[in-house]
A and B are shown apart, each in its own frame.
Chain A
């Protein structure tokens, strides 16, 4: 499932792109998994099809999915993060929760370390 927050300052296409990216990187969407059609996802989220098309286009450019008229949109192999990274992420998420941090705070902390290093 993905959720769209219309009150968020993040544009809808970016919310869709980032959530699908996270699901692919985290392994929730395996290689070969079929994504819904642009029309279905746009209808369910009550947004313009062009918004979903833009998100799918960016995911395609990033090499995470491929779209084909005959077979629809599928997750490409190789998008999943490595096991070491996923384990480390799980440890970090658990530590952040223990400290009472929310997702934004945890991401900020990670981004700060990343950019400093």
Chain B
């Protein structure tokens, strides 16, 4: 990656992710013909509008955070630090607050309902929920660790990492100490709450009216949840990746020169590992965000493909 501008690198990741997603979409397109109901079509249109709006708002807030951090250096990078969590929370809050489309019901039309309760986590796989929980726990854990190992700068703000012996000392900044960690922990917790609200919105949306639409109803919910999961994963990865990279850079800078009787070889190696981990997680965040965009715009086709496959499987069983 040496010599490659970060934005060029981000562009390459986005291009590759889009290409793979489009290729995968074309590969699975033949799975079934387009056969959907009026109710399903309305639900899917509404789902795409809401997921696309959530992803769009997240992107705008993310860019606003980056621009604000560049325009106001006096803020010491705080807007950039909290941008992923605030942007993700904004997008997901919009999703949770937007009511679903209400379909018209004919007078006298019979209505059916499942007696299975739907929960916020009903439409996500256990693996993805476990992964998101682990990411959130790692983010909070990393922030607590960097907060506890931070030192105050000359203005008393805990945004420095310092090493000292009896006779000499070295320090580097910006380090995600309490100055950054406290608002970041609060923002991450707020983000987790909005993520739960958004997933809950998928669950509490009334089901499709009419008999025999139970499977269709589940398909659009699963597709919407996949977009939200990608958006949540992107936010957490960008947050954790950014914190890890700054931790690695500051630690490496502080340990760049050995103090008398205090070699820093191991510290530099650990710092390099933390920085590399941060880079990989940030790349994962860019990939997840690109997938969220692709999935949001491809949601109607994914749903009709899945419904078509279900119908084909159903007819094959009947035959």
Q: Give A contacts to B, CB under 8 Å.
A: 1-7, 20, 23, 29, 33-37, 39-41, 43-46, 72
Are B204 and A29 touching (Cβ within 8 A)?
no
Are A3 and B112 touching (Cβ within 8 A)?
yes
**In the complex, which residue of chain B has the Cβ closest to the Cβ of A39?**
B204
**In the complex, which residue of chain B has the Cβ closest to the Cβ of A75?**
B115
Which residues on A sit within 8 Å (CB–CB) of B114? 1, 36, 44
A62 to B113 alpha-carbon distance, docked (Å): 22
Partner of B111, one of A6, A36, A39: A6
Q: Considering the complex, which residues of chain B in the window 204-229 have a beta carbon less than 8 Å from any beta carbon of chain A?
A: 204-207, 209, 211, 214
User: Is B154 in the interface zone, CB < 8 Å from A?
Assistant: no
Are A44 and B206 touching (Cβ within 8 A)?
yes
Which residues on B sit within 8 Å (CB–CB) of A35? 115, 117
State whether A40 and B118 are in contact (beta carbons under 8 Å apart), knowing that A3-B211, A6-B107 are contacts in the complex: yes
Are B111 and A40 touching (Cβ within 8 A)?
no
**In the complex, which residue of chain A has the Cβ closest to the Cβ of B102?**
A46
Are B204 and A46 touching (Cβ within 8 A)?
no
User: Which one of B109, B113, B114, B205 has the highest number of Cβ atoms from chain A below 10 Å of its Cβ?
Assistant: B113
User: Is B108 in the interface zone, CB < 8 Å from A?
Assistant: yes
A33 to B111 alpha-carbon distance, docked (Å): 22
Are B113 and A41 touching (Cβ within 8 A)?
yes
Are A36 and B204 touching (Cβ within 8 A)?
no
User: Which one of B109, B111, B112, B204 has the highest number of Cβ atoms from chain A below 10 Å of its Cβ?
Assistant: B111
**In the complex, which residue of chain A has the Cβ closest to the Cβ of B109?**
A6
Which residues on B sit within 8 Å (CB–CB) of A3? 110-113, 211
Which residues on B sit within 8 Å (CB–CB) of A33? 115
User: Is B116 in the interface zone, CB < 8 Å from A?
Assistant: yes
Which residues on A sit within 8 Å (CB–CB) of B118? 36, 40
CB A24 to nearest CB in B, in angstroms, measures: 10
Which residues on B sit within 8 Å (CB–CB) of A40? 117-118, 203-204
A107 to B114 alpha-carbon distance, docked (Å): 25
Are B115 and A1 touching (Cβ within 8 A)?
yes
A6 to B108 alpha-carbon distance, docked (Å): 5
Are B207 and A4 touching (Cβ within 8 A)?
no
Partner of A43, one of B107, B110, B112, B206: B206
Are B111 and A29 touching (Cβ within 8 A)?
no
CB A10 to nearest CB in B, in angstroms, measures: 13
**In the complex, which residue of chain B has the Cβ closest to the Cβ of A16?**
B113
Q: Considering the complex, which residues of chain B in the window 97-111 have a beta carbon less than 8 Å from any beta carbon of chain A?
A: 105, 107-111
9 closest A-B pairs by CB: A44-B113, A43-B206, A36-B117, A44-B207, A7-B108, A3-B112, A4-B111, A45-B111, A45-B113
A109 to B112 alpha-carbon distance, docked (Å): 28
State whether A46 and B117 are in contact (beta carbons under 8 Å apart), knowing that A2-B112, A3-B112, A3-B211 are contacts in the complex: no
Which residues on A sit within 8 Å (CB–CB) of B209? 46
**In the complex, which residue of chain B has the Cβ closest to the Cβ of A33?**
B115
Which residues on A sit within 8 Å (CB–CB) of B205? 43
Which residues on A sit within 8 Å (CB–CB) of B112? 1-4, 44
Which residues on A sit within 8 Å (CB–CB) of B110? 3-6
CB A16 to nearest CB in B, in angstroms, measures: 9
Which residues on A sit within 8 Å (CB–CB) of B211? 3
Are A46 and B206 touching (Cβ within 8 A)?
yes
Interface string of B60-71 (1 = CB under 8 A from A): 000000000000
Which residues on A sit within 8 Å (CB–CB) of B113? 1-4, 36, 41, 44-45
